[in-house]
Amino acid sequence: MAKDKKFVEDITPMGEDFAQWYTDVVKKAELMRYSSVKGCMMILPAGYAIWENIQKNLDAMFKKTGVENVYMPMFIPESLLDKEKDHVEGFAPECAWVTQGGLEKLEERLVVRPTSETLFCDLYSNIVQSYRDLPKVYNQWCSVVRWEKTTRPFLRSSEFLWQEGHTAHATAEEAQERTIQMLNVYYEFCKDYLAIPLIKGQKTDKEKFAGAEATYTIEALMHDGKALQSGTSHNFGDGFAKAFGIQFTDKDNKLSYVHQTSWGLSTRTIGAIIMVHGDDSGLVLPPRIAPVQVMVIPVAQHKEGVLEKAAEITDMLAKAGLAVKMDDSDKSPGWKFSEQEIRGIPVRIEIGPKDIEAGKAVVVRRDTREKIEVALDELAARVPEILETMQNDMYERAKKHLEEHTYSAKDYDEFKDIIENKPGFVKAMWCGDLDCELKIKEDTTATSRCIPFEQEQISDKCVCCGKPAKSMVYWGKAY
Amino acid sequence: MAKDKKFVEDITPMGEDFAQWYTDVVKKAELMRYSSVKGCMMILPAGYAIWENIQKNLDAMFKKTGVENVYMPMFIPESLLDKEKDHVEGFAPECAWVTQGGLEKLEERLVVRPTSETLFCDLYSNIVQSYRDLPKVYNQWCSVVRWEKTTRPFLRSSEFLWQEGHTAHATAEEAQERTIQMLNVYYEFCKDYLAIPLIKGQKTDKEKFAGAEATYTIEALMHDGKALQSGTSHNFGDGFAKAFGIQFTDKDNKLSYVHQTSWGLSTRTIGAIIMVHGDDSGLVLPPRIAPVQVMVIPVAQHKEGVLEKAAEITDMLAKAGLAVKMDDSDKSPGWKFSEQEIRGIPVRIEIGPKDIEAGKAVVVRRDTREKIEVALDELAARVPEILETMQNDMYERAKKHLEEHTYSAKDYDEFKDIIENKPGFVKAMWCGDLDCELKIKEDTTATSRCIPFEQEQISDKCVCCGKPAKSMVYWGKAY
């Protein structure tokens, strides 16, 4: 098997070829590799550590809202998948099928879970009897499989990691509340930890989840002006409950169907981090999600006292609660700097003989390249502040980018012109008809991203057909 | 679908039917349920929370030794599995096969991973070039599938959760060191967190892992005197490296094969916790692994001030860093007590009007039922002490059980008599021949559990054939 060359080449500039830039960054930051199985990723330590931090922080937010984690089987019998008509139609074409177990052909084919609504419904139909058993607010962290023809690292792959929450409630109101509550959790998580601003809204019927009554989404804008659906929350009403017979005795001793929700966020989010914050030197990780926040890099480390001082700083910052590492390998400082930059480590601390003599170190921000001289005895206090400032600046910068790349279109010519020439979101009115949605997609390749909660009255006519408008929609090309 | 009845029946006494006791406990503590897929478990919140605590603590121990987490695909192409002869022979008979992806029949069948040696080897063959790239110390937390005919909750199921570490090293010595290091991590983890004493040793060739040079194991003794293999660590030598072409340039610019290890611990461990510590009232969880350590149960909660005081205690203990919950449901105190007992929550705190008047609460240990009166203002200091004492007592009790159920046999009659009449481990000498191992299994159903690191000279002859003995072996019936 051919050995890979070490990546010493430059990263393709973003402005030259965004797709190639993305692939270069993913590869050179050593986040993942493709495996021998078509379309399946191997997530390497630098990539998986980001996912671990996402899991840890998002899971803590879930648990504050009463979520309990479980683990469901990865296989779904075909007959179980078949129970809800829309759902099976949506997923069957992209399922992986197990047909043989051990040495025997299976009597019934099994689907490797593309999502687990049917399993949770099967469980709930067995364990929910009374209103006292409600709500059930379960979640699982797992991998799912959707047989994709074309794949891109983190954005689209045949297997990916995610969490899927599945809840059952006594009333429609409570289910709707939970649907929006979890959308808000995603929104806050992306804002606070990933420094990613989002548009919150509802999906059109065409774009909603197979089997859902309503799907809500958070949509992010990538650096190239394309949208990325970053998390979804679905209200199922009692559709699945009726298909699976999930009934309970309510307080008046009457038999009712439960109302259900589901919500998921996946390793796609890592793609969003890369494409929202990355630059021509590589990855830029928001400090609050970075597995390594600070890299201490000794300069002229062969000189007396340098390595000792670098180690001392590393220890001190670790004690201050930061995720810090020291690079004392035998590479040159310049090489170490560029590795730290490619990997998106938020700040590096340069410390050499002259710095030690002057009682200071140089802190370099990854996002702005700003060099900040900090007295050695102030590092433990200042570095966390610098990281916090960087986190906030990254969010503000991304927000500005989102705002500057969000346009309004009153008529179809303007709409088409924007889609063709100005990458970003287009706000435009819509009559609510599928035909207009399909026509817009055919004419421009743009899709409806969401009907945002914050509505504006751009005009009173549908941007496509000119009939009376029902709502304002965010449109855009999407990953 | 038939609704389950709530579990109000008693748990079958352990002495009457151990297997039924185990099933009852698993069911009534609501740890898991079987799913619609034969042999696959749904792990419910009470069970999964134990696994989360195992993950959290064991993962922290891994990381201290330099382990990095990754995620590998769940599918293995048949040709990749085929590369190492012993390995494929060991696993092929119990594989689940994916033969269709989307609407198309696959050109090559995919195995749902039963274990991931082959994938890690494939990765290492691509990313290891120089001694500078070594060691690689990767691990993943995932589920694996082994198509089992007979299944038991947590102990044997077609899909189970585990971690699998896979490492590559420059020298045989380093690989051997890592193999033993990780076995010791398992040993310490089980001792310190699960309060489970273990026998450490090497597996015989018959019992070793498919493709390994040597397999090491930790063996625990269940309450019924049966052994449970609770974790294994394998040294692969350079066998897999040769099959997969994993070579590196060493310091002298010579091409060498890497030496590899792998090691795994699974949800079986939850079965071990149940069968080592449980009693006729249900589960007994070691405090350091219990998702809920303390249940505060108000008595006569309708009386003024009781619920408030119970909530105050709950808050106070949460602030002291304990995992504490209050049961303020409308069930009777007696019902709440027995639920807390079934679920194995280490201590409960009973607080009623008389206690409040006397300025105290009653702390009840789950393991001994000991009732300890504690002044309210001493609870935050005393409860952690009580939990710590309980943790240590549980270990000592299990150790005593292990010692009292470990026997020595000098000759075959004695051996057979012990196996038949005294459930537990039997220490006996072995000549090293497979034939004796097979004969012992056929005659008694006992298997060699391990060749312990701590050897004793029981006699100088093989207990089975009477030829000169090579080593002392632990034998026993096993799960």
Whether A213 has a pLDDT exceeding 80, the answer reads yes
- A245 at the B interface (CB within 8 A)? yes
pLDDT tens-digit map of B187-209: 999 999 999 999 999 999 999 99
Asked if residues B21 and A52 have their Cβ atoms less than 8 Å apart, the reply is: no
DSSP per-residue string spanning A132-185: GG--EEEEEEEEEE---SS-BTTTB-SEEEEEEEEEEESSHHHHHHHHHHHHHH
How far apart CA A207 and CA A210 sit, in angstroms, is 9
Q: Number of C-alpha atoms within 13 angstroms, CB side, residue A12?
A: 14
Site of tokens 């599928």: A434
Q: Is A173 on the interface with B (CB under 8 A)?
A: no
Whether A195 and chain B come into contact, CB under 8 Å, resolves to no
Nearest to B70 among A4, A44, A68 (CB): A44
- Cβ A428 vs Cβ A473: under 8 Å: yes
Best CA proximity match to B221, nearest among B426, B454, B463, B10: B426
Q: Name the residue of chain B whose CA is nearest to A114's CA.
A: B102
| B9: confidence class by pLDDT, cuts 50, 70, 90 | low
CA angle B373/B377/B380 to nearest 5° reads: 85
Residue B375 scores a pLDDT above 70: yes
Burial label, A138 (beta-carbon count in 10 A; 0-12, 13-18, 19+) = buried
Which has more confidence, A150 or A245?
Answer: A245
Beta bridge partners of A230: none
B77 touches chain A (CB under 8 A): yes
In degrees to the nearest 10, what's the CA dihedral of B235, B238, B243, B247? 130
Nearest to B45 among A41, A70, A96 (CB): A70
* Measured distance CA(B449)–CA(B202) in Å, rounded: 9
Residue type at position A295: M
B119 touches chain A (CB under 8 A): yes
Pairwise CA distance, residues A478 & A222, whole Å:
9
Instruction: Identify the DSSP state of B213.
Output: S
- Exposed e or buried b for every residue in B251-269, given b needs 16+ CB within 10 A? eeeeebbbbbbbbbbbbbb
Give B267 to chain A, closest Cα distance, Å. 11
When the pLDDT of each residue in chain A is averaged and rounded to a whole number, the result is: 95
Which candidate from A33, A110, A143 shows the least CB-CB separation from B37? A110
The tokens describing A433, both together, are 């008809």
- pLDDT band of A8, cuts 50, 70, 90: very low
- Which pair of structure tokens corresponds to residue B398? 């299990």
- In this prediction, residue B316 carries a pLDDT of 97
**CA A384 to chain CA centroid, nearest Å:** 25
Does B127 contact A at CB distance below 8 Å?
yes
The pLDDT of residue A39 is above 80: yes
Query: What is residue A377's predicted lDDT score, i.e. its pLDDT?
Result: 96
Residue-level pLDDT at B148: 85
A248, A171 contact by CB (below 8 A): no
When mean pLDDT is compared across A206-210, B373-377, B411-415, the lowest value belongs to A206-210
Verify whether the Cβ–Cβ distance B37 to A76 is below 8 Å: yes
Provide the pLDDT confidence category of residue A43 given band limits of 50, 70 and 90.
very high
Share of chain A above pLDDT 90, in %: 93
Kindly indicate the confidence band of residue B31, based on its pLDDT and cuts at 50, 70 and 90.
Answer: very high
- Is residue A228 within 8 Å of residue A447, measured between CB atoms? no
Q: How many CB pairs under 8 A join A and B?
A: 173
Q: Give the amino acid at B241.
A: A
**For residue A13, which of A343, A280, A341 has the smallest C-alpha distance?**
A280
- Closest chain A CA to residue B138: A45
Question: In 10 A of CB A229, how many CB atoms?
Answer: 19
Q: What are the tens digits of pLDDT across the range B263-307?
A: 999 999 999 999 999 999 999 999 999 999 999 999 999 999 999
CB distance B77–A37 less than 8 Å?
Answer: yes
User: Could you report the per-residue pLDDT of A108-135, keeping only the tens digit for each?
Assistant: 999 999 999 999 999 999 999 999 999 9
A 87-116 → B contacts, CB under 8 A: 93-103, 110, 112
DSSP line for A14-60: TTT-HHHHHHHHHHHTT-EEE-SSTTPEEEPHHHHHHHHHHHHHHHH
**Confidence at A93, pLDDT banded by 50, 70, 90:** confident
**Is A48 at the interface with chain B, CB within 8 A?**
yes
Distance, CA of A169 to CA of A238 (rounded, Å): 10
pLDDT at B355 over 90: yes
At B242-275, the pLDDT tens digits run 999 999 999 999 999 999 999 999 999 999 999 9
Q: How many residues does chain B have?
A: 479
Nearest to B349 by CA among B367, B332, B372, B329: B372
Q: Which of A93, A110, A123 sits opposite B102 (nearest CB)?
A: A93
Structure tokens of B414?
Answer: 């004695």
Q: Is B330 on the interface with A (CB under 8 A)?
A: no
Indicate if the pLDDT at residue A396 is higher than 80. Answer: yes
Residue-wise pLDDT for B59-111, tens only, equals: 999 999 999 999 999 999 999 999 988 888 888 889 999 999 988 899 999 99
Q: Which residues in chain B touch residue A49, judged by CB atoms under 8 angstroms apart?
A: 68-69
Instruction: Return the pLDDT at B8.
Output: 45
Contact residues on chain A for B126, CB-CB shorter than 8 A: 1, 3-4, 33
**Cα–Cα nearest to B472, from B427, B406, B419:** B427
pLDDT at A89 exceeding the cut of 90: no
- Report the alpha-carbon distance of residue A206 to residue A202 in Å, rounded: 11
pLDDT above 50 (res A436): yes
Instruction: Write the pLDDT tens digit of every residue in B451-470.
Output: 999 999 999 999 999 999 99
Tokens of B19: 């297997």
The whole-angstrom separation of Cα B56 and Cα B68 is 14
**A127 touches B at CB < 8 Å:** yes
pLDDT at A9: 60
Quote the minimal CA–CA distance from B294 to chain A in Å: 18
Rounded to two decimals, the ipTM of the complex is 0.95
Q: Which helix (H) or strand (E) holds A386?
A: helix A379-404
**DSSP structure string for A257-306:** E-EEEEEEEETHHHHHHHHHH-BTTB----TTT-SS-EEEEESSTTSTTH
Among the listed residues A210, A206, A259, the one whose alpha carbon sits nearest the alpha carbon of residue A85:
A210
Quick one: what percent of chain B has pLDDT higher than 90?
Answer: 93
A158 part of contact set with chain B, CB < 8 Å: yes
- Residues of chain A contacting residue B97, judged by C-beta atoms under 8 Å apart: 98-101
* A6 confidence band (pLDDT: 50, 70, 90): very low
- Strand-pairing partners, residue B227, are B221, B478
Instruction: Give the pLDDT of residue B3.
Output: 37
Q: Which residues of chain A make contact with B36, given a CB cutoff of 8 A?
A: 77, 80, 119, 122
Q: CB burial class (10 A; 0-12, 13-18, 19+) of residue A449? A: buried
**Among A418-432, B144-158, B365-379, B407-421, which stretch is predicted with the lowest mean pLDDT?**
B144-158
Measured between alpha carbons, how far is residue A302 from residues A267, A423, B12 in Å?
41, 50, 70
pLDDT at A7 over 60: no
Q: Does A52 touch chain B (CB under 8 A)?
A: yes
Contact A112 B98 (CB under 8 A): yes
Residues A368 and A382: their CA atoms lie apart, in Å, by 17
Smallest Cβ–Cβ distance between A45 and the set B70, B80, B95 belongs to B70
Q: Are B264 and B232 in contact (CB under 8 A)?
A: yes
Which residue in A has a C-alpha nearest to residue B102's C-alpha?
A94
Kindly identify which residue of chain B lies nearest to residue A102, measuring between CA atoms: B94
The reply to whether omega before B135 is within 30° of 0 (cis) is yes
**Whole-prediction pTM:** 0.96
Query: Average pLDDT, stretch A303-309?
Result: 96
pLDDT at B10: 83
DSSP bridge pairs for B374: B361
Closest partner CB to B95 (pick from A102, A142, A143): A102
The pLDDT assigned to A149 comes to: 81
**pLDDT higher than threshold 80 for residue A3:** no
Contacts of B103 (CB under 8 A, 6+ apart): A93
Structural contact between residues A313 and A253, judged by C-beta atoms closer than 8 angstroms? no
Q: DSSP label at B252?
A: T
To the nearest whole angstrom, how far is the Cα of B121 from the nearest Cα of chain A? 11
B48 to A33: CB separation less than 8 angstroms, yes or no: no
pLDDT of residue B19: 97
What is the helix (H) or strand (E) element at residue B264, kind and residue range? Answer: strand B259-266
User: Residue B71: which of A43, A80, A245 has the nearest Cβ?
Assistant: A43
Contacts of B73 in chain A (CB under 8 A): 35, 37, 40-42, 159
Q: Does B465 touch chain A (CB under 8 A)?
A: no
Select the residue of A52, A98, A122 nearest B96 (Cβ to Cβ): A98
The answer to whether the CB atoms of B71 and A143 lie below 8 A apart is yes
In one-letter notation, the amino acid at residue A416 is K
Residue A34, beta-bridge partner list = A41
Q: Do B147 and A102 touch (CB under 8 A)?
A: yes
